Every structure is written in C-alpha cells, then in structure tokens.
Structure 1
Amino acid sequence: MTIPRLQGAALATVVLVAVGSVAAPTAAGAAPGAPGAARYSAGAASVGDPYFPDQGNGGYDVQHYDLTFSYDPATRFMDATATITAVATQDLDRFNLDFRGPKVSTVTVNGHAHGFTRRGQELIVTPRPKLKAGHTFTVVVKYAGVPGPITDPDGSIEGWVPTDDGAFVAGEPQGAPAWLPTNDHPTDKATFRFTARVPAGLTAVGNGQLLSQKTRDGWTTFTWDSTEPMATYLATITIGNFQVTESTTPSGIPVYVAIDPRLVAGSAAAVAQIPQMIDFFSATFGPYPFASTGAIIDRAPDVGYALETQTKPIFSSAAGVGTMAHELAHQWYGDSVSPERWSDIWLNEGFATYAQWMYTEHTGGASVSQTFNSSSNYGRAASSPFWQTVLADPGPEEMFSNIPYNRGAMTLHALREKIGDGAFFRILRAWAANHRYNHAATADFIALSERESGQKLTAFFDVWLFQKGKPTTW
C-alpha cells in the first residue's frame, strides 16, 4: 500500500474446499485404538494474529476461490456464486470462514446442505459427514444483498467501497470478508477465479488474466483467472467506467491498464513507465513473479490510498510515478512474499518504499543516499514522535503510517551501507526467490541477512527494528 494512511435476485453462492491447519478444541468421537481421545475437533476460529484476533481460521488450507456474481451499481445489490477448494489439515467436525458480507441463504459441504451460524465476522459451518484430515472438500455458500466498506483501526476504509459508477474493491488488511467468505490471513494463499456480471458499458477488472468478456441482454460478463497463489487481502474485482489499454513490457509481460476517463491525463506519466518499472525491478529483484501486470486507476475520493492488489495495483485517484513504482515493487515484496504476521508489515512497506527510492535515482532524481538523509527521513530530529514507535511492532493503528514505510526503507539502506552492495542485493533477490508465493517473518529476514553477509547483525537489527529512538550507531 502507498500513501501512508491516517485515517430480488438469485442469492449469491460460495463454494469452499479447505485444508486444515491449526489444532482446535476437542470434540466428540474417540479415535480408534485410543478410547477417550478425540478424533474430530473444530478448526480454530483464528490464526492468532494479535493485530486482528478474529482473522483467519484453522483446520483447513484453501486451494482455490471461484466467485460468480452480478452487481448493479444503481442498487448496490450483489447476487453471487463463489466456489472455494481446500484440504482439511485435521479431522474436522466444524470450521469457520471469515465473512462480514450480505445475508447467507444456504451452505453446502461436498454437495450436502448443512446448518450454519454467524457470529461477528465468523461464518460457522458444521459438516455432516465430518471431514477427514488430508481430504479435499467443497463448500458452497449462497448469499445476496448489499456489501459495503469496513473501517480499519486507523480510520481508513476498505472492503467493498461503492463509487459513483461501480465499486472500488480493496482488502488490506481485513477487507476481503466484506464481499467474499474466506480464510482471511496472508498465511493461507490460494488461486482465484472471478466471473462478474455488470451492466453493459461498465468494466469489471480482476487479478490475473482476462479469460473472456461477453455482452448479452444489457449485461457484460468478465471472467478473470489468477493462477499464482494470492493472499485474500490482495484480491480485487473493481467495477467502473474505465478506459482500457493493453500492451506488453519489453520482456513480453502482458500489461492491462484500466483508468477512469477523468483520471487519464493525470495518470499518463505513471502509466507510460509501467513497462520500464517492471523491467528495472526484474533486473534488480529477480524475475517478475506473475504472468501479467497492469493497474486499475479509479475515482474513489473517500478511500485516499493505493493498494498493491496482485498483478494490478489499484489507485483511488490519479496515479503518480513514485506511487506506481511503489505498488509495482510490492508485486515482489508483499504480494509474492507476504507477511507472516501483520507486525511484519515493514517487510512490505519498507521494501516497496526503498524500491521507489531506487527507481527515483535510476530515472535521474535524488539518490537513495540523499533521500535517506532528507528531512522526511533520517534528518528528522531525535525528539520527533517518528522515532518513538518500535518498527517491528507498530501496532494496528500505525501499521500504515509513515513509520513502516520510511523507517523500513531506512533500515534497508542502513543495512546496505553496513554490508555492501554485493551482499545487500543478493539478500533482496534471495528474499524474493526463497519465499516466492509464500510468507515470511522478520526473523527470517534477519537470518538471511546474516547468512548472505557473513556478519553477526543482532545489534544492527536491534537498533533499527526493536528499539525506540533514532539510531546513531550501527
């Protein structure tokens, strides 16, 4: 993400296939050969991320989401069918999905209709027959109504945000369940397919590749397929009146850009540099991790930020060159490699901010060193509140402030100065390669840095990541 935040139709249907993970409370049913020992139990109702304690679920691992829906901006009514594929990681007699969306009518598991309950953001499903560990299962959830935005701890909004011609759909850090039942945590990635039916004349833009676009009886149906694993917070299917252009980068990667006509002129410079940015970052960080790239530039004045939605970053206003570079760099750091816990957010934002600094230098602007030492960064007084938050644990209210962004980027530059360019750029490339399509934590980055540099960096990272105060020696 960039711009640090201050701030009567058929019912929809969702299908889920899951793989279990976290052990949960015991349930009835003794295991063979172990009288009194529980065999089946409920999947955990959370993955235990302290920033968002209700987020994510245990007992299964989602493999694929398939959502088919209609949406009419005039009524803001959604009528959808979603299919989710996953594998049970334990013997399950109950599991949860994260869902804050419209009214659910039915839930089926492997074709059998089952009872369900809703409690807060939890959609609680009790399958019969029960689910055995290692087996794939399919859940279909039917729901319909008016989805809407979710307000984050910093006061900003995300989720399904209505616009004057459609909807701006952004999910970081907890917005996906506003419109799709999910296992909503970066540690459970899956592939996605969206089939969106919207009034003719509008465009629905999703992650991945456009498989088809068909108009009939006043409605156009778009099918988007994202074949690389994706965290739920990076999913989008944004709807509006867009001017669409398609091209390729010099290295042959397809580029799909959708822009609100009111924002074309203001975004022209940034859009023109997308191919150059992708090739520069590929040369620096390693191969681009996805089959396509692009951008969605919409008019959503109540949002006020851009987000690195996978393959197509989304902007709520005209896109600037620096912001575009930031969001495209996230495709490596944040999208392909996602945070293990939200306290690791500096690994997303610090990396993307540093990439933005490097691109500025690459195109003839301020050097990275000059940006590091500027009054917005290391030039801030030691008494500034900017230095009074622990970077590796900023808290949910500060996770999108300029602290993870600027101090995260400064940490990387300080590391570069300490260990030299050779080791530093090996680390950046290894980080992207070793954790491709996965997730990782701050401890993993420290271990990699020590391995590649051959240096003991405990004191360095303690000063930059785990202590308050302006670093003076490292």
Structure 2
Amino acid sequence: MNGSLGRMTAVATAAVVLVSMNGEAATAGPGEVRTADPCPSPASPAPVPPPPADPAAPGDLAVPGTPAAPPGAALPTPPTAAMPPAPPALSGSGAQESSPDSDGDGTWPEPPPTGQRLFRRMAVPPPEAAASPTPAPPATTGETPPGQSTALDGCDPPTTKAPVKTTPNAGKPGAPGVGDPYFANAGNGGYDVGHYDIALAYAGRSKGTVDATVTITAKATQQLSRFNLDFRGPKVTRITVDGEPATYGRKGQELTVTPATSLPAGATFTTVVTYAGKPGPVRNNSLGTYGWVPSKDGAVVVAEPDGAPTWLPVNDHPSDKATYSYRLTVPSDLQALANGTPGPTTKQGKTTTYQWSEESPMAPYLATVAIGKFDVRRGKVGNIPVITAVDPRFKKSAAALQKTTIKAVAWESKMFGPYPFATTGGIVDDPKLDYALETQERPVYAGFAPDDDFIVHELAHQWFGDSVSLKSWPDIWLNEGFATYAEWLWHERGKKDSAKKIYKRYYRQPSASPIFNPPPGKPGRADLFSFSVYIRGAMCLQALRTKVGDKAFFQILKTWASSRRNGNAATPDFIAHAEKISHKQLDGLFKAWLYSKGKPKKW
C-alpha cells in the first residue's frame, strides 16, 4: 500500500504518515468507532515534523557484508528516465487527516498540497532525517478490541431471526475466527470459500444505499452444525444454505449462520445472503479510515486490513483466498469498476449493469468496487489488457497513469517474473484518504494523482502481497518491504541512484529512529503499517542481496513469486526459500533484520 497527505503509505493496506526515500510525507486517521450513515469525524493525528529533502547520496559506509554487485544482466535497465525533483517540505503543521463528505452536503476538504509523495498510514523519514519518536495515536474513546470492529452494528439487532424448522444438527460449530495474532476474530473456521458471486445495486449518491445478494460457494473442512461469516454491513433480510432458509444472528462483526441440516465434512455448499441499506467505512485509531468509503459521486472500496465486512459478507482473512464475480447495477450516469476482467455491460431503463470477474484467487481485503464518473482508458502491455479509470477531478493525470502503469508492469515483469494476473490497471478516485491500496489487478489511489513511485509500489504488490499472500498479518513485511524495495530498484534503472545507496542513507539514522522500530517481522497490530515495516523491511532485502550476490538474489525474488503464485506464505517460508536458492545459512541475517530491536549491527 501507499499513501499521500492525510493518511498514506507505500501500503494500503493503515494513522500516521510514511515518507519515501525522497522525503515526502503522509498521514492516517483515528479510533475505531461506529460508522453507520453519519460517521463521526476522526481525530487528527499528532503533527509530524516536516522532513528535510534527501541530500545527495553519500559515499560508502562500512556495514557488515560484502558490497552488492553493480546492476548487471540480472538487473535489466530500461531507457534512463529523469529522476523526479525532490518535493517541497511539508508545512510545520504536519499532515492532517481528511475525511469523506459523510454528511452528504457536497462540501469537501481542500486537496492536499501537490508534489508530496506520501505512503499510507505512516510517514517514513527520508534517509538523512533526524530521528524522532513515532507519534502516539490520538486518544479516542470507544476503541474496540483487535479484530472486533463494530462499525455498523446498529444496522441489525444481535438477535436471531425466528427459527426455521431444523433436523437434529450433528457436527460442531465452525470457529468464529482463525486466531490471527493481530485480528483474532477475523476469518472463520470450518470451511474454505471457493467463490463469491456479488450482485449489488447502488441507488446513487443522494441515498448511498445498496441492495445486494451475495452467493458464497464453500467447502466444509469439518462437519458443521453452524458457521460464521464476517459482516458489519447493512441489514440482512434473508439467508439460505443449499436453497433452504437458515437461522442467523449478528453480534459485532460475526454473522452466525445455522443451516437447516448439518453440513458434512468435505461437502461443497452454497450460502446466499441478501441485505440492503447504507454501508460505511471503519475508522480506527491506528489503522485509519477504510472499507466502503463514500465518494463525491459514488463510493470506493479500500479494505486493508479488515474492511471487507463493511460491505460484503465474507471469510475475512488473507489465508482464505477465492475467486470473485461482480454484477454492479448503478444509475446510468455512473460507471462501476471492480477487480479482474470486464464482462458485458447492459443498460436497462435508468440503470446500467457492469460485470467483472476475478479469476485468480484473491484475499478479501483486495476486493474492490469503484462507483462514480471516470475517464476510462484501455491499452495493453504485451498481451495483458490495461484498464485505468480516473475521477474527473484528476483528469489531467489520466494519460500519465495509463502510460506509467504500462511501463512499470513491463519493467517489473523482467525483474520479478511474468505478471501473475489476467489484467492490470489502476483507479484514481476522489475521497481524501490520500493513500493507495494494491487492490488486485487494479490498485486504487484515493484522493491524489500517483507519481511513479506510488505506481511501481502498488504494482509490485501484484506479485508480492496479491499473488503471494500472507498467511497471517504479522508477516506484513513480506508485502510492504518487497514493494518498497521495488521502488528502490526503479531508482536504480538510470544508475543515478541505487538500492545500495538508498540503504546506506537510511542506515546512517540512529538506532532509535522509527525506521528501525519496531522490528518489521513482528510489528504489532498498532504498528502494522509503521515506518520500519516498509523501510527496514526493504533494508533487509538489500542486506540479503549483499550477502548472496545479485545473481542469487534476483533468482530468489523471481522463484519466490512463481513457486508461491496464487498461494499464501509466511516469513519462515521465505527464509527457507532464500537458503535453498543461495546455498547459504541465513538465519542470523533475518533474525537481525526482522526481529532484533534497534539498528541491526551484526548479521
């Protein structure tokens, strides 16, 4: 993920600010509170001191390990592109959170200053910035326990519907969470989803309501007496399992479904959930504003880490990936985009239905819908269709988004191996979230026109984060460290800068710098998108490159992406993979860079 002013990161997908290696900044938002229609305004984050511009790359700095080989055959160098100028420093007031036009009065905050490249949720100091403590999140009442966001509880009472006639129900309940260390109640046990079919009708911005029917095809992994879905969205009106009415109840994010008869282990079953009402976003102290976010003319979904349930009944954990199909019906003056490949578009009366299909397995937080008015452009990079869409407010950036997306995908395909999906592209929409999210096949840039670094970062996630997904959230560095390192490699193309030089400039910072703390291999829920996850995560990869040499390093990256394609992975998997390819013992390096406190000194 990535961000810009107000809550950005080179992530998607979190309440502070991230700055790239050129010194630009970003911020994020407030404490998790109930958000039905009138969403409370988030508290502003603590001001972040403006970082100075990054100075010229210094000379060699003695650090452990042998020098990295200069870019060679393993590191293709496309035609040299001029490095972008360093942006002006932020004003002393710091980057402030901005929120959607939740009251619907048509007024919107002023756009953030231009020329600042900020990464979502945490502003990372540039390499030469003086260390300063990471800002503490603002005190907010009503913060709910991890994994138990109750953003839209009020849409449904937590009582069950009138019971349907059932037969004695053998089996046992599926677990109401997968036990993720950071989001204990996210995801659910007892089944594995294969496909979500989403039929959603949007009434228009004046109402902001949806009528939806979601059909979930899943396989029971145990005999199930009942099972849970994660859902904080509008009022549920009906649920069936294999065509029979089911009993259901809601409490917090848990939607508990009891089928008329138990589901045998190994059986494929179909659950249909019908609901209607007005979705809204989650607002959280450390993770910001995300989920179903109203825009000036529609809505956009950016759901990392646990925002998918704001609009979709789902098994909300990256470990349960599935395919998706969408039928999105909107007023005919609007358009609707989603992940994957477009299908037929059908106009009927005053509405138009857009069909999309994501045919590669996808983690729930990567599912997106964008409804509004867009300048849509189509092209190709090789044989891969490129579809970009830009809100009219940012129409001047439409050509650049299309051109840079094509250029970046072509370059990254050489660096990381074949592009893993059927299509690519990007969406620029108007909510002032000022961060980007690597929504699968079509990243979303929320509230700003992205520069090259943003685009490169989000597209790198298509390999690292989307195709190869997390097994659990503590391994977030496998997403963000890799995508940040892709930016460093992008700067290496013209040989005016290099990943090695960027690493050295960061390494000059003292041990107390937030780029080193907390350790990125286990950052904690509140620091999921902190400076260190991005920067120290990328530095870990540069240390690995220095240790094993360019040939082995780039082979590690390419074979990691190809061998784990469409799957999930954890840090121990990557360590084992790197050791296998390099024929080196690397435990000490990864322990130092991912788990030790402060600045690594020996590895």
TM-score, structure 1 length as denominator?
Answer: 0.91
Gaps of 5+ in 2: 4-8, 17-27, 29-166
Q: How much does 1:124 deviate? A: 0.2
Match of 1:154 in 2: 286
Matched residue of 2:376: which SS?
strand
Q: 1:381 to 1:421 in 2, by over 3 A?
A: same
Match of 2:428 in 1: 297
Mapped partners of 1:427, 1:364: distance in 2: 23
Match of 1:214 in 2: 346
Q: 1:153 to 1:49 in 2, by over 3 A?
A: farther
Q: How much does 1:136 deviate? A: 0.7
Match of 1:391 in 2: 520
Match of 1:411 in 2: 540
Matched residue of 2:525: which SS?
coil
Choose the corresponding residue for 2:226, options 79, 94, 112.
94
Query: Which protein has the bigger strand share?
Result: 1
Choose the corresponding residue for 1:111, options 218, 236, 243.
243
- Deviation digits for residues 353-392 of structure 1 (CA, Å, limit 9, x no counterpart): 1011111222555211121122xx2221223243231211
Mapped partners of 2:354, 2:398: distance in 1: 25
- Deviation digits for residues 8-33 of structure 1 (CA, Å, limit 9, x no counterpart): xxxxxxxxxxxxxxxxxxxx989xxx
Choose the corresponding residue for 1:205, options 337, 355, 373.
337
Mapped partners of 1:359, 1:155: distance in 2: 28
Q: Does 2:438 align with 1:308?
A: yes
- Deviation digits for residues 271-302 of structure 1 (CA, Å, limit 9, x no counterpart): 3121121111111111110010000111111x
Choose the corresponding residue for 2:596, options 450, 467, 470.
467
RMSD after superposition: 1.5
Match of 2:561 in 1: 432
Mapped partners of 1:458, 1:145: distance in 2: 51
Match of 1:80 in 2: 212
Matched residue of 1:386: which SS?
coil
Choose the corresponding residue for 1:186, options 293, 318, 326.
318
Mapped partners of 2:464, 2:208: distance in 1: 34
Matched residue of 1:450: which SS?
helix
Mapped partners of 1:78, 1:270: distance in 2: 30
Q: Which moved more, 1:67-76 or 1:260-269?
A: 260-269
Q: Does 2:461 align with 1:356?
A: no
Q: Which moved more, 1:458-467 or 1:383-392?
A: 383-392
Mapped partners of 1:439, 1:284: distance in 2: 21
- Deviation digits for residues 202-257 of structure 1 (CA, Å, limit 9, x no counterpart): 111100011011222111110001111101010001111100000001x2110000
Q: Which moved more, 1:365-374 or 1:319-328?
A: 365-374
Q: Would you say the 8 A contact 1:64–1:190 is kept in 2? A: yes
Mapped partners of 1:109, 1:153: distance in 2: 37
Matched residue of 1:214: which SS?
strand
Match of 2:459 in 1: 328
Q: How much does 1:155 deviate? A: 4.4
Q: How much does 1:396 deviate? A: 1.4
Match of 2:305 in 1: 173
Match of 1:401 in 2: 530
Q: Would you say the 8 A contact 2:318–2:365 is kept in 1? A: yes
Q: Which moved more, 1:267-276 or 1:69-78?
A: 267-276
Q: How much does 1:398 deviate? A: 1.1
Q: Would you say the 8 A contact 2:225–2:262 is kept in 1? A: yes
Mapped partners of 2:444, 2:336: distance in 1: 13
Q: Does 2:265 align with 1:133?
A: yes
TM-score, structure 2 length as denominator?
Answer: 0.72
Which amino acid is the alignment partner of residue 561 of structure 2? Answer: A
Q: How many residues align?
A: 442
Mapped partners of 1:137, 1:404: distance in 2: 39
| Pairing 1:188-267 to 2, within 5 Å after superposition | 188-249=320-381, 251-266=382-397
Query: Which protein has the bigger helix share?
Result: 1
Q: Which moved more, 1:88-97 or 1:426-435?
A: 426-435
Which amino acid is the alignment partner of residue 305 of structure 1? Answer: Y
- Deviation digits for residues 56-80 of structure 1 (CA, Å, limit 9, x no counterpart): 0010000000010111221010111
Match of 2:200 in 1: 69
Matched residue of 1:443: which SS?
helix
Match of 1:281 in 2: 412
